Amino acid sequence: MFDETIPIKATKDIVIVRQKGRELAILYSFSKAEQTRFATALSELTRNVLTYAESGTCSFLVKSANRKSIIIARIVDHGPGISDIKLALQDGYSGGSGLGLGLPGAKRLVHSFDIESSPGYTQIDISISRTIR
Ligand SMILES: Nc1ncnc2c1ncn2[C@@H]1O[C@H](COP(=O)(O)OP(=O)(O)O)[C@@H](O)[C@H]1O
Ligand SMILES: [Mg+2]
């Protein structure tokens, strides 16, 4: 089950989502670099929600067992949806006026990245994981 859900409605929420992701990464002893990568991916996805859907949510889920920790963030909105996911994931593709690096950039920064989208709904799950040796 995902725990507390953070609303995404205004620019300040980018910072809130980013900080929550970083806090969890710190709590589960991810490296400084991983903390920053996760936080940066969260920023981009949160920014897209504000730009393309106006509002949405971000929920976090942590699974920690048998020396393995995984932090999952689920970003959901009820905007127009992403009609061509493959295209949206290409470097430099922007349906708006952005640089088109948000989605592909975020994908490169995390360990897993899954998009589900249809008109009126977009859900993006990202995760980072680590194993204690
Ligand atoms: N949450 C979303 N809802 C609808 N469309 C989206 C969403 N996120 C991304 N997109 C679409 O995917 C394209 C690529 O996103 P991104 O890589 O972040 O580039 P940029 O935001 O710079 O255009 C966007 O231009 C937009 O058309
Ligand atoms: Mg973007």
pLDDT digits (tens, 9 = 90+) for 34-76: 999 999 999 999 999 999 999 999 999 999 998 999 999 999 9
* Mean pLDDT rounded to a whole number for the chain: 95
Please write the tens of the pLDDT for every residue from 74-90: 999 999 999 999 999 99
Ligand 1 centroid to Cα of residue 52, in Å, is 7
Cβ 99 under 6 angstroms from ligand 1: yes
Q: Using a 6 Å cutoff on CB, does residue 124 contact ligand 1?
A: no
The Cα diameter of the chain in Å comes to 45
pLDDT of residue 97: 84
Residues, the chain: 133
Provide the CATH number for the domain around residue 15: 3.30.565.10
Q: What is the 68 CA–ligand 2 centroid distance (Å)?
A: 31
131 Cβ contact partners less than 8 Å away, ≥ 6 residues apart:
67, 68
Write out the residue range of the structural domain in which residue 49 sits. 5-131
Residue 1 pLDDT: 67
- How many structural domains is the chain composed of? 1
Say if ligand 1 is within 6 A of residue 119 CB: no
Task: Specify the 3-state DSSP secondary structure of 133.
Answer: coil
Q: What is the pLDDT of residues 85-130, one digit of tens each?
A: 999 999 999 988 888 899 999 999 999 999 999 999 999 999 999 9
Atom of ligand 1 nearest to the CA of 48: 8
pLDDT of 100 reads 84
CB atoms within 10 A of CB 24: 21
For residue 126, give the nearest of 111, 117, 118 by alpha carbon: 111
pLDDT at 22 over 70: yes
Report whether pLDDT(4) > 90.
no
The pTM of the full predicted model, rounded to 2 decimals, is 0.96
CB atoms within 10 A of CB 29: 11
Ligand 1 centroid, distance to 60 Cα (angstroms): 21
